[in-house]
Amino acid sequence: MGVVEGLLALGLILNVCVVCNGGTSSPFVRKVEKAVDMPLDSDVFAIPPGYNAPQQVHITQGDLVGKAVIVSWVTVDEPGSSEVRYWSENSDQKKIVEGKLVTYRFFNYTSGFIHHTTIRNLEYNTKYYYEVGLGNTTRQFWFVTPPEIGPDVPYTFGLIGDLGQSFDSNKTLSHYELNPRKGQTVLFVGDLSYADNYPNHDNIRWDSWGRFTERSVAYQPWIWTAGNHEIDFAPEIGETVPFKPYTHRYHVPYKASQSTSPFWYSIKRASAHIIVLASYSAYGKYTPQYKWLEKELPKVNRTETPWLIVLMHSPWYNSYNYHYMEGETMRVMYEPWFVQYKVDVVFAGHVHAYERSVSAKTWSLKLLALQFLI
Ligand SMILES: *[C@@H]1O[C@H](CO)[C@@H](O)[C@H](O)[C@H]1NC(C)=O
Ligand SMILES: *[C@@H]1O[C@H](CO)[C@@H](O)[C@H](O)[C@H]1NC(C)=O
Ligand SMILES: *[C@@H]1O[C@H](CO)[C@@H](O)[C@H](O)[C@H]1NC(C)=O
Ligand SMILES: *[C@@H]1O[C@H](CO)[C@@H](O)[C@H](O)[C@H]1NC(C)=O
Ligand SMILES: [Fe+2]
């Protein structure tokens, strides 16, 4: 009895040690100084030339299975057309699809004309060219659709979170672009522009972020997760609708996974089933997000998509004092389901420091503990 207790105690102590210090896996050391935002006249924020030229072009998956793409962009001189002209590399038969435009106001800021157009019925594994700004200044881009969903299709996801628009943000994006592994889709774990750091959440910084990231997101989908910097809740200036800039600018295919809200949804892409959760929407028992996730997890077909990936903004495990335990209440609600349905990997942002662990449950790393005990 005493021996068993001794071993258990040892196991627990080792657990704690492992959580505290998993070792160093990269020579990168973050600088101590605060990140400095790139000034508005920086090259990365340049406004594309030409009358009513589309800017801030971005794409994301437009359906459950990867055969549709949502194309979004902003025009500023006049509404212009919400049509997208597109064609596959192997054909010169061009098609046109019509979308919708939205605008919004935020305190004394008025947005440009924000267009969202969904291209559907695309072929898998195909390069498509597309054009926006039809009738005024037209700009051309391209993307490649993913392979058909299946267990044995290789695919490379990039992972970015908390990007912002500092000089370091530009380095982060370049680092991703220059990676020889060539990411095909970005899983973005929340906190996009950090416009809310500016007086009155100066939404001009949402526009500059859109222009900064266009060089990647116009050519490959970024899968969006909402972070705390998307909330933009500012009752002191009369802005009481949370997520207003984010939801007007970044559309996601939430209805395709029977979600009732853009903040939680799922997609399937290649061999992965990806569930996006909302750290800043209600997740307690009986809430819409809880009910949706309860129905969603049993739908995952591991024969078809062996990888089950979850994205969220606020991590459930974090050993830094910064944002410590902010994800704890959601962990308490959902971790038993993650264990039951064998989630492979959870990606989160929020804490601007890299950490990873093997599968964890209730703040202990099961596998490592067992290894030590043996
Ligand atoms: C909005 O208000 C701020 C603060 O009063 C001011 O500096 C800024 O110029 C105004 N912007 C517009 C577009 O009116
Ligand atoms: C811009 O494009 C729209 C939509 O095609 C068209 O109605 C409008 O006349 C164009 N404006 C100019 C100045 O050409
Ligand atoms: C951002 O990075 C790109 C690519 O590395 C570079 O061309 C550009 O000059 C950089 N801009 C700023 C403001 O750092
Ligand atoms: C899971 O996917 C496989 C492969 O596509 C399919 O044969 C099977 O019918 C699916 N299972 C369910 C329960 O839908
Ligand atoms: Fe955050």
> Residue 41 is encoded by which pair of tokens?
């006249």
d(C-alpha 222, C-alpha 303), whole Å: 25
pLDDT (average), residues 226-250: 98
Cα 165–127–43 angle (5° rounding)? Answer: 25
Q: How many secondary structure helices (H) and strands (E) does the chain include?
A: 7, 17
User: Atom 11 (ligand 4): residue with closest C-alpha?
Assistant: 301
pLDDT at residue 20 above 70? Answer: no
Mutate which of 165, 174, 178, 213 for ligand 3 pocket (most atoms within 8 A of beta carbon):
174
The yes-or-no answer on residue 350 being catalytic is no
Q: Which ligand is nearest to the CA of 152?
A: 4
Phi and psi at 268, nearest 5°, equal: -115, 135
User: Atom 10 (ligand 4): residue with closest C-alpha?
Assistant: 301
Residues touching ligand 3 (Cβ under 6 Å) are: 38, 42-44, 167, 170, 174
28-76 residue pLDDT tens = 787 889 999 999 999 999 999 999 999 999 999 999 999 999 999 999 9
Q: How far is CA 252 from each of CA 36, 70, 148, 178, rounded to the nearest angstrom? A: 30, 8, 20, 27
What is the model's pLDDT at position 21? 56
Please tell me what DSSP assigns to residue 75.
E
What is the model's pLDDT at position 24? 77
Average pLDDT for the chain: 92
Please choose, from the candidates 117, 123, 103, the residue with its C-alpha nearest in 3D space to the C-alpha of residue 71. 117
More confident residue, 6 or 111: 111
* DSSP E strands, the chain: 55-61, 69-75, 84-88, 95-97, 100-102, 105-106, 109-110, 113-119, 127-132, 139-144, 157-160, 185-188, 222-224, 265-269, 272-276, 307-311, 345-347
What is the model's pLDDT at position 6? 29
Query: Can you tell me whether residue 221 is helix, strand or coil?
Result: coil
Distance 98 CA to ligand 3 centre (A): 34
Distance 286 CA to ligand 4 centre (A): 29
* DSSP E strands, 161-204: 185-188
What is the model's pLDDT at position 9? 29
297-343 residue pLDDT tens = 999 999 999 999 999 999 999 999 999 999 999 999 999 999 999 99
d(C-alpha 199, C-alpha 335), whole Å: 38
More confident residue, 313 or 9: 313
176-233 residue pLDDT tens = 999 999 999 999 999 999 999 999 999 999 999 999 999 999 999 999 999 999 999 9
259-269 residue pLDDT tens = 999 999 999 99
Query: What distance separates the 2 farthest-apart alpha carbons in the chain?
Result: 82
Question: At 365, is the pLDDT very low, low, confident or very high (cuts 50, 70, 90)?
Answer: confident
- CATH placement of domain 50-370: 3.60.21.10
